[in-house]
Amino acid sequence: MSQLAVPPPVTLPTATIQDNFTTVLSEVHAGIIPSESIWLSCYKDGEPSVHGKVAISLHEQDRDRIELTGVGGVELTRTSQFRYTARCSRLGIDSVEFISPTEVYADPSHSDERHPRQIPSFAVSDGLLATALLDGTVSIYDLPRSPPVAGRYPVPTTHAMQPIVSTKLHKSVINALEIISGTSPDPILASAGSDFIIHLTPLPVSSAGTSPALTPLLSLRGHTRPVTALFPCTNDALLSAGKDGSLRTWDIRSGAQKAMWAMEKPAVALAASAGDRSGIAWVALADGSVQSLDARESTPTPTTKLATGAAAARAIAVSGDGREIALGGADGTAVLFDVRGGAVRQRWRRGGAPIECVSFAPGGRVVIGGEDGLPHVIDRAGTGLHVSELVFGNIEAARALRVSEKFIYISGDGGVVRKYEL
């Protein structure tokens, strides 16, 4: 395995805000309440944390404008309808952005505030949302149209959603979901579980007027440990990874296994460039290393395994041009890896909570979510690093995320999927 020079991690600033602060702003603006205060905290490694408040009130002359007055060493300014910027001079934090969700997709049976049901994985495609639960249940929803933004100080639109169909497909936790389009007549849902099985299930989008059902068309068996990740290579091939250390490609039309690679360590995550049709995929291994493979091969050939300096890996993503890999570790460190140069470019860290999900976004930005419930976007454009906090739930871990053009979708322990606009 190639050994690499690993730079020390850059410690990123962290800011957290009362998760319903946009509701407070909206109510003050509407005159429902005369004024209110919200909490805002800032953190920097090695420094005492700062816990302040922001007083919210209507402007004395312009009654259509809200005044935000920082108390206790913090400041907050509004930059657009769903974006705010925090500052804390005491910690040298001059700009941390907060991005509030624009929409929240909530199934009432999953999102009860007292007893929410974790969504460990989900998929979004062609106007459909598929969610998984810890007990092996899959639910399919029609995604509603995005409503126009109402009011000067809008709040996220919460959609109370009822599933088209909901079925217990697996015996235990579902670790990965993928909607495979281009199949006829309906798209296929690929689901991977801790029960060692991959199901290929037609989604009932063309069965209008009938009782929809989720019935696996094929069940792929071969893994001897939990299946951790899936990646659709083409319209007729699927790549899977498992804790048994194997990677396998499957023909989704026949269910036949086409190839298998044996890794030295458990395979925990898969990724490939969205714009790359070469068939090259990358796998993150439990020891923090990464390995590439050509998923088109029927006779696997040895590939190069590279150390990345990461602790036990939890998540991986590949940039749109295929030149960079982002790896999330169990120690809370994110690693940015240069594929062509074979070197670690940067390492980022803030706290020690495990990273559960990572993805690239347009403009080379990196989106990270983890068990601390503080998903964020790292923008490397210009000089330095700019951090945007994605306002999430109240003490709720982020478990899975998807980036689709300018939108970010994140699920977690609160039983909902939140949508953000970059």
Q: Mean pLDDT across the stretch 138-142?
A: 96
| pLDDT on residue 353 | 92
| Amino acid identity at 167 | T
Q: Mean pLDDT across the stretch 171-186?
A: 88
Residues near 234 by Cβ (< 8 Å), separated by ≥ 6? none
Q: Mean pLDDT across the stretch 117-132?
A: 95
Helix ranges (H only) for 62-137 are none
Contact 72, 90 (CB under 8 A): no
Whole-prediction pTM: 0.94
Q: How many CB atoms lie within 10 A of CB 349?
A: 18
pLDDT surpassing 80 at residue 305: no
Q: Mean pLDDT across the stretch 379-408?
A: 92
| pLDDT on residue 309 | 67
| pLDDT on residue 181 | 83
| pLDDT on residue 184 | 67
Average pLDDT, the chain: 90
pLDDT surpassing 80 at residue 352: yes
| pLDDT on residue 216 | 95
Under the banding of pLDDT at 50, 70 and 90, the label for residue 354 is very high
Residues 307 and 207: their CA atoms lie apart, in Å, by 49
Q: Mean pLDDT across the stretch 155-177?
A: 96
Cis peptide before 148 (omega within 30 of 0): no
Instruction: Of 208-217, 351-360, 379-388, give the lowest mean pLDDT range.
Output: 208-217
pLDDT surpassing 90 at residue 35: yes
Report domain extents, the chain. 11-99
Q: Mean pLDDT across the stretch 118-131?
A: 95
Strands across the sheet with 416-421, in order?
157-160, 103-106, 416-421, 407-412, 398-404
Report residue 21: phi and psi, to 5°.
Answer: -65, -30
Q: How far is CA 332 from CA 130, 155, 369, 408, in A?
A: 28, 31, 10, 21
Contact 117, 106 (CB under 8 A): no
Select the more confidently predicted residue: 34 or 394. 34
Residues 279 and 282: their CA atoms lie apart, in Å, by 10
